[in-house]
């Protein structure tokens, strides 16, 4: 009897297993996960960090109607030693800072660019040294001290612990980060999938999400 396969955005790595330990989880960039599902990967549940990818799949008839289950906000993180002496997001305009962000097309990458546009800080993008394919890699490079700064979700900071320092970002600039999930039409375990979705949306699930720092719709 094979396990339920849950494909979920990388930022859900810490919280989803806490809601249900049983399934087999595949975490990664939401765009790559969507691609794999389009190619026929056997996902029973797909949880994306952006409505874009679930909506696309739904529009193609490849999954059920998406449901919002959480929200998030972006933060700026720097390594604990803060080698570039960054005090606020505006310092990112300074030349020579090693900034790591998500790649365009990956939810965190698109959100970051939206945020920077709203802050009139698109020039900071010239400091980008690497476009990562999921948010965990951004966290990792900053936590290792290899990058000077990176944009990640608020929920990614706690798992990184003392290795990073976070800076809150102006609320008015925050993009709307909506996490939506759906059940692919080719799912193998319809009952288990439905149950998992119910768990995420239940009071217990919502409490877990909230404890991890997610917002609730």
Q: Binding residues for another protein, per CB under 8 A?
A: 29, 31-32, 34-35, 83, 98, 100, 103-105, 128-133, 141, 144-147
Helices (H), the chain: 16-19, 30-38, 51-59, 107-118, 135-143, 157-160, 190-201, 203-212
The single-letter DSSP state of residue 2 is P
3-state SS class at 67? strand
By beta-carbon proximity to another protein, the closer residue of 104 and 170 is 104
Report in angstroms the alpha-carbon separations of 119 from 16, 64, 116, 131.
Answer: 32, 36, 5, 20
- Least Å distance between CB 81 and another protein? 8
CA 116, 120, 125 angle in degrees (round to 5)? Answer: 50
- Least Å distance between CB 150 and another protein? 11
By beta-carbon proximity to another protein, the closer residue of 28 and 205 is 28
- Least Å distance between CB 11 and another protein? 17
By beta-carbon proximity to another protein, the closer residue of 26 and 71 is 26
By beta-carbon proximity to another protein, the closer residue of 34 and 183 is 34
By beta-carbon proximity to another protein, the closer residue of 102 and 175 is 102
Burial class (CB in 10 A: 0-12, 13-18, 19+), 134: buried
- Least Å distance between CB 77 and another protein? 15
- Least Å distance between CB 80 and another protein? 10
| Residue 179 to residue 47: CA distance in whole angstroms | 7
By beta-carbon proximity to another protein, the closer residue of 10 and 212 is 10
| Residue 200 to residue 177: CA distance in whole angstroms | 17
- Least Å distance between CB 205 and another protein? 28
CA 198, 53, 101 angle in degrees (round to 5)? Answer: 110
């Amino acid at each position: 009897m094979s396990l339920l396969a849950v494909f979920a955005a990388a930022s859900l790595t810490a919280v989803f297993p806490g809601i249900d330990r049983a399934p087999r989880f595949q975490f990664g960039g939401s765009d790559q996960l969507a691609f794999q599902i389009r190619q026929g990967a056997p996902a029973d549940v797909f949880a994306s960090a952006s409505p874009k990818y679930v909506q696309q799949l739904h529009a193609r008839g490849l999954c059920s109607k998406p449901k919002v289950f959480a929200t998030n906000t972006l933060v700026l993180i720097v390594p604990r030693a803060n080698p570039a002496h960054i005090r606020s997001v505006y310092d990112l305009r300074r030349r020579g800072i090693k900034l790591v962000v998500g790649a365009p097309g990956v939810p965190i990458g698109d959100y970051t660019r939206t945020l920077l546009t709203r802050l009139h800080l698109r020039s900071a993008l010239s400091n980008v040294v690497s476009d990562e394919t999921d948010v965990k890699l951004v966290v990792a490079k900053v936590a290792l001290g290899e990058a000077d700064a990176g944009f990640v979700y608020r929920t990614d900071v706690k798992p990184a612990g003392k290795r990073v320092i976070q800076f809150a970002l102006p609320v008015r600039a925050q993009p709307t980060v909506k996490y939506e999930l759906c059940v692919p039409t080719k799912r193998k375990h319809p009952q288990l999938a439905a149950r998992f979705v119910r768990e995420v949306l239940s009071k217990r699930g919502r409490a877990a999400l909230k404890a991890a720092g997610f917002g609730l719709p």
